[in-house]
Copies of this chain bind each other. A is one copy, B any other.
Amino acid sequence: MQENNAKGTDISTLGEFGLIKHLTKNIKLKHESSNVGVGDDAAVIDCKNKKTVVTTDLLVEGIHFDLMYTPLRHLGYKAIVVNVSDVYAMNAEPKQVTVSLAISKRFTLEAIDEIYEGINMACEKYNVDLVGGDTTSSLTGLCISVTAIGEADEDQIAYRSGAKANDLICVSGNLGAAYAGLQLLDREKRIFENNPEIQPDLTGHDYILERQLKPEARKDIFESLQDAKIVPTAMIDVSDGLSSELFHICEDSKVGCQIYEEKIPIDYETHKMAEELNMNYSVFALNGGEDYELLFTVPLDKFDAIEEMEDVKVIGHITNESKGKYLVTRDGVEIELQAQGWNPIKED
């Protein structure tokens, strides 16, 4: 477990402009379309003949992350990933991001540098330019707001609304792992809080921990789809759980769906964690969140192309709206899906 109040440089010694200079001095713009980055009233972008897609996400301490077990570097990385994931979910290519940070006095310059290391690492990995932002203080928690901008040709954009009856429902990677990682971290935190002598036992859970703390967006799947010249009829990223995302696609496309429990890809570690906690691993996939996998639909005739695609599974098909939204369990029982995604508007 991590301490964030280590000794270091007090940020008030730099002032706002000094801090901005410090944080932006090494930024190099990678894209021709990023005409002007930080340093003026606004960034300037040249989108030429493409469409621009824009998405934004706000991460709040205590709601989206717990600094007791979230390394700051990973937090910065994740803040970028969750936004570029939304751009890929439009079948568009992320190009620019802006980052706003509200930080309390307990953060040292070194702590902020760690957040930015993660941000820069993700910008490098996903080939996006950091073109602007805002840095301010907060009386209480840490708050990170990211806006991602991407581009796509008009006929390449995948909305949530284009799924048709008989389309195949496909998902990348595996589901529920990030939620399994969160369950583990919460359990170990409670144990640690009750008895600080007991060190957290996280061995053998590397995969689910990484899925929770340092998730990746599916740039590779976006590229595979480009290579295969497939434009999904509908696409969304799995941030609130499979069930909730299927609801979005079905409602926006005015269709129903049928998915098969046995086809939902779930990692061995997710299985194991669910077992340890006496929970159903399918629930992790259906109602957990933060997988950042891509869920998409394609016409039936793309079946062979999808079968050849690495790390993509067909988990069911789209039906007429009147058929409803169903999960067929391992025992062959049809259960109506519930849209109970991960809810950041907490009730407690």
Q: Is A102 an interface position by the 8 A CB rule?
A: yes
State whether B60 touches A138 (Cβ < 8 A): yes
Given contact pairs A343-B15, A345-B11, A45 touches B56 in the complex (Cβ within 8 A): no
Which residues in B have their C-beta under 8 angstroms from that of A53?
42-45
A235 to B64, CA, bound (A): 38
Output the nearest chain B residue to A36 by Cβ-Cβ distance: B159
- Kindly specify which of A73-81, A82-90, A200-208 makes contact with the partner chain: A82-90
In the complex, A35→B155 CA distance in Å? 13
Taking A63-B102, A100-B145, A141-B140 as contacts, is the C-beta distance between A55 and B132 under 8 angstroms? yes
Is A54 an interface residue, CB under 8 A from the partner? yes
Residues of chain B within 8 A (CB-CB) of A147 are: 54, 56, 98, 147
Q: Which of B35, B54, B62, B140 contacts A149 (CB 8 A)?
A: B54
Q: Given the complex of chains A and B, what is the CA–CA distance between A256 and B280 in angstroms?
A: 69
Query: What chain B residues lie within 8 Å of A324 (beta carbons)?
Result: none
- The contact string, 1 if C-beta is below 8 Å from chain B, for chain A 127-142, is 0000111111111110
Query: Min CB distance, A109 to chain B, in Å?
Result: 11
CB distance from A90 to the nearest CB of B (A): 5
Q: A53-B42, A140-B140, A147-B56 are in contact. Are A15 and B102 (CB under 8 A)?
A: no
The answer to the question of A160 belonging to the interface, with a C-beta cut-off of 8 Å to chain B, is yes
Number of copies: 2
1/0 contact string of A22-48 vs chain B (CB within 8 Å):
000000000000011001111111110
| A236 and B41 within 8 A (CB) | yes
Interface of chain A residues 312 through 342 with chain B (CB within 8 A): 339, 341
Interface check A225, CB cutoff 8 A:
no
- Please tell me if the beta carbons of A132 and B102 are within 8 angstroms of each other in the complex: no
- The reply on A252 being an interface residue by CB < 8 A is yes
Judged by a CB distance under 8 angstroms, whether A57 is at the interface is yes
Contact B87 A42 (CB under 8 A): yes
Do B52 and A44 have beta carbons less than 8 Å apart? yes
> With a CB–CB cut-off of 8 A, which chain B residues contact A86?
41-42
Q: A343 and B16: CB pair below 8 A?
A: yes
Q: Which residues of B contact A345 (CB under 8 A)?
A: 11-12, 14-16, 19, 135-137
Q: B residues within 8 A CB of A343? A: 15-16
Q: Once the chains bind, are A64 and B136 in contact (CB under 8 Å)?
A: yes
Q: How far is the CA of A135 from the CA of B87 in the complex (A)?
A: 18
**A143 CB within 8 Å of chain B:** yes
A311 at the interface (CB under 8 A from B): no
Q: Shortest distance in angstroms between A335's beta carbon and chain B's nearest beta carbon?
A: 21
Is there contact, CB below 8 Å, between B131 and A54? yes
Is there contact, CB below 8 Å, between A58 and B145?
A: yes
Residue A212 interfacial (CB < 8 Å): no
- How many Å from the CB of A337 to the closest CB on chain B? 14
**A243 → B minimal CB distance (Å):** 12
Evaluate contact between A60 and B98: CB separation under 8 angstroms.
no
Q: Is A346 an interface residue when CB atoms closer than 8 A count as contact?
A: yes
Residue of B nearest to A140 (CB): B140
Q: Does A96 contact B (CB under 8 A)?
A: yes
Decide if A157 is an interface residue (CB 8 Å cutoff).
Answer: yes
